[in-house]
């Protein structure tokens, strides 16, 4: 005997009011390029054409704007925390007051973008182009030098330390960083000059042990032969006095080549 089985049926749930509002905001921004203070959190806007869009105060946390065209966009006070703008075009965009905590701006084009000093300090902007130096704080400039040095890009590291020193000439740690980067490139005389000046700065601060180590390393570098071309690796290209200089600098480098907190 067959048993009757009761099957209950319920209609599929309607989209929540919140989801409907977010969907409407996405449609609005794509069609009108205007959505001030609207909620676009987690929105998928990959490669979206948002040139000259009015997005002042918009909520764009975790939104995916990778490859989007945002040239001339008004993003003042927008919350872009943890959003992806990797490879996006932000030429001439206004980012004043924007929240950029954890924002991925790698490989983005920020040529002409309006950014407050230090506005990018908590974002990821490696290999982004067009960022004006004025948009970077001293710590950002110095830390960019450290990052380049740690990745073996010593000429680039030297340039970042140059900018850091121009911003804060009495920052001994940046003189050390530039000296180490120059030493890695075989520019031993110039490296020795940087380390000697850093020693003077540390001495004025009362850090005699640091000052003496730097002065000793600088003196040894002036006695070292030039680095042969084709070397790769800290100390491997130096012989004699130069190796002794790097041995002295090793613990100092481990201490000074750390990012500066913001």
Q: Does the model's pTM come out above 0.95?
A: no
* Whole-number pLDDT of residue 5: 45
Pick from 40, 33, 121: which is nearest to 70 by CA? 33
Name, in order, each residue with C-beta under 8 angstroms of 194's C-beta and a sequence gap of 6 or more.
Answer: 175, 176, 178, 179, 182
54/8: higher pLDDT: 54
Give yes or no for residue 131 having a pLDDT over 80. Answer: yes
Distance CA 179, CA 196 (A): 9
Number of Cβ within a 10 Å radius of residue 83 = 29
Domains of the chain with CATH codes: 35-135 (2.160.20.80), 138-256 (1.25.40.10)
Give yes or no for residue 9 having a pLDDT over 90. Answer: no
Distance CA 144, CA 126 (A): 9
* Averaged pLDDT score across all residues of the chain: 83
25/66: higher pLDDT: 66
Name, in order, each residue with C-beta under 8 angstroms of 178's C-beta and a sequence gap of 6 or more.
Answer: 145, 157, 158, 161, 162, 165, 194
Give yes or no for residue 98 having a pLDDT over 50. Answer: yes
Name, in order, each residue with C-beta under 8 angstroms of 138's C-beta and a sequence gap of 6 or more.
Answer: 164, 167, 168, 171, 260
Tell me the per-residue pLDDT of 206-233, one tens digit each, with 9 for 90 and over: 999 889 988 988 888 887 555 555 444 4
Pick from 246, 227, 224: which is nearest to 235 by CA? 246
């Amino acid at each position: 005997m067959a048993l009757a089985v009761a099957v209950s049926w319920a209609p599929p749930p309607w989209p929540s009011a919140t989801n409907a509002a977010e969907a409407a905001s996405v449609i609005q921004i794509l069609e009108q390029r205007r959505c001030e203070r609207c909620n676009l959190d987690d929105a998928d806007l990959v490669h979206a054409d948002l040139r000259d869009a009015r997005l002042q105060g918009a909520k764009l946390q975790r939104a995916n704007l990778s490859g989007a065209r945002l040239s001339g966009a008004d993003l003042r006070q927008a919350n872009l925390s943890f959003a992806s703008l990797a490879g996006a075009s932000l030429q001439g965009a206004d980012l004043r007051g924007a929240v950029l905590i954890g924002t991925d701006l790698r490989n983005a084009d920020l040529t002409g973008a309006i950014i407050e000093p230090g506005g990018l300090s908590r974002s990821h902007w490696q290999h982004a182009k067009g960022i004006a130096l004025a948009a970077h704080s001293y710590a950002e400039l110095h830390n960019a030098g450290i990052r380049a040095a740690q990745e073996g890009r010593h000429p680039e590291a030297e340039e970042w330390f140059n900018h850091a020193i121009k911003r804060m000439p009495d920052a001994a740690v940046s003189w050390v960083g530039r000296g180490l980067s120059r030493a890695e490139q075989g520019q031993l005389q110039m490296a020795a000059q940087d380390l000697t000046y850093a020693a003077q700065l540390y001495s004025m601060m009362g850090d005699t042990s640091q000052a003496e180590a730097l002065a000793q390393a600088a003196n040894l570098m002036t006695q070292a032969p030039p680095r042969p071309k084709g070397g790769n690796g800290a100390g491997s290209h130096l012989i004699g006095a130069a190796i002794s200089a790097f041995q002295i600098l090793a613990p100092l480098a481990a201490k000074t080549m750390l990012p500066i907190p913001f």
